[in-house]
Amino acid sequence: MVSELWKLPAHEVVSLLRTGALGPLELLDAAIARIEDVDGAINALPIHCFERARDRAQRLDLAAERQNPKSLMGLPIAVKDYNDLGGVRTTYGSPIFKAHVAQRSDATIAQLECNGANPVAKSNVPEWAGGHTFNPVFGVTRNPFDLRKTVGGSSGGSAAALASGQVWLATGNDLGGSLRTPAAFNNIVGLRPSPGVVPRGTRLQPFDTLWVEGPMARSVRDVALMLDAGAGHSAQDPLSFHAALGSYVAALKAFDAPKRVAFSEDLGIVPMARDIAQTARTACAKISGLGIDVSDEIPDFSGVLEGFQTLRGVLIATMLDDLLAEHRDAILPDIVKNAEVGHQVSNQQIISAEKIRKSITLQMQSFFQRCDFLICPTTSVAPFDVEKPFVTEIDGQPCQTYIDWFAITFALSMTGCPVVSLPCGFTNEGLPVGLQIVGQPRQEAELLAFAEILEQEFGVASAVPREGALSG
């Protein structure tokens, strides 16, 4: 049985741990064995903390954990290398920090550890930010569905580790799609929660609402399980709060299917590869087949991309300002350019960006009076060649910047709404395609309940964890 544990969903494994049918050390050994067996081909988890995890598993008070309904009972998880994990090497994908060891876990990880999560490894990331997971410290991460393809980014290592069965849950974060794009590229589920649902560490700007932390897993139910363990208030994050909801897992069956949703192939603002659009349309037809009215009336996203570019530039410049002053030559040129955007924007550009953000927020409020959810593809393209740093054109249309190809995700970041990326099908080449579902602010429970209905209807979640496609 131990050799097969990596195939089980997280919620089943936690149930086995809670009943005593399985022990934390036994489960940890299964995770380590799987990592050692397959990660050489993928490079999803370059930093191991096996002894730390073994010590935590041995010291876990199982009787006390059983009294905590949110406890993961010692379940091994992967921690994204943008998150500080106490006592473990934490590089942010940068050669500047290649030997850095975090003194303590940040608020995101501390919350999970408090609720029984057992970090077993750090997952690979791009250097500081980006949509393709490679860096000068650990190299590139490869897609378990095709080792010649990218996993996306920046939570690419987490997504690939999940898809290949190395862990059951993994952390991600999302500024412009860093959680949702890898989820789509690896056929797993990723949730960008509303700001404040999952607490953030002090490395981030305390009152920024564009960058959020969120759960990644192989199924909607497992995402809800991780959200139960990861949501809550932390003194490190002034925007964080304790949700009134008792359990996201319990709420999955508390809501009926919606009556009306809206669907768009491109939100009216981005180019879309034909195979992605077709797969999304096929998924939309299945939604309609459930008796749900599907509208094409969506909010007007005009100006949202430009507004996001401005605010993203300001955020990155603020976060990296001191590092740029000391280590400019050791930072990826594309990241330097992104920070320079923040230094060069005018007052009028910032004012315009904030007015655009207000406009789309008000439009979303009006939209939710007519429809229950907004749906669109997660990405404009399928996973591309791992040797390409980024996409330069989409369906013959050239990209203006190196982040244009995931504009369909960062447009939705501007709304402040929770968004789940859900696997919905495959291209003719067998590469995963994801669908974004947008819910009302702080209504993660309703969003996940609908996502689980669609997950069962689409029937593609069983494609992970991957077994036979992990050799070149």
Angle between helices 24-42 and 10-19 (to 10 degrees): 160
Rounded Cα–Cα distance for residues 438 and 428 (Å): 27
Query: ∠181-394-156 over CA atoms, to 5°?
Result: 20
The pTM of the full predicted model, rounded to 2 decimals, is: 0.97
Nearest of 257, 240, 99, 231 to residue 171 by alpha carbon: 231
Domain boundaries, the chain: 2-463
Amino acid letter, residue 84: D
Q: What is the CA radius of gyration of the chain?
A: 20
- CATH of the structural domain 2-463, one choice from 3.20.20.210, 3.90.1300.10, 3.40.50.1370, 3.30.70.140: 3.90.1300.10
* Cβ-contact 160, 45 below 8 angstroms: no
Q: How many CB atoms lie within 10 A of CB 261?
A: 21
Nearest of 375, 357, 358, 363 to residue 414 by alpha carbon: 357
Q: pLDDT (tens digit, 0 to 9) for every residue of the chain, 472 residues total?
A: 567 999 999 999 999 999 999 999 999 999 999 999 999 999 999 999 999 999 999 999 999 999 999 999 999 999 999 999 999 999 999 999 999 999 999 999 999 999 999 999 999 999 998 899 999 999 999 999 999 999 999 999 999 999 999 999 999 999 999 999 999 999 999 999 999 999 999 999 999 999 999 999 999 999 999 999 999 999 999 999 998 888 999 999 999 999 999 999 999 999 999 999 999 999 999 999 999 999 999 999 999 999 999 999 999 999 999 998 899 998 888 888 888 889 999 999 999 999 999 999 999 999 999 999 999 999 999 999 999 988 989 988 888 877 889 999 999 999 999 999 999 999 999 999 999 999 999 999 999 999 999 999 999 999 999 986 564 4
Q: How many CB atoms lie within 10 A of CB 462?
A: 10
Rounded Cα–Cα distance for residues 151 and 140 (Å): 9
Cα dihedral sign, 167-172-176-180? positive
Rounded Cα–Cα distance for residues 139 and 120 (Å): 20
DSSP H helical ranges for 246-294: 274-289
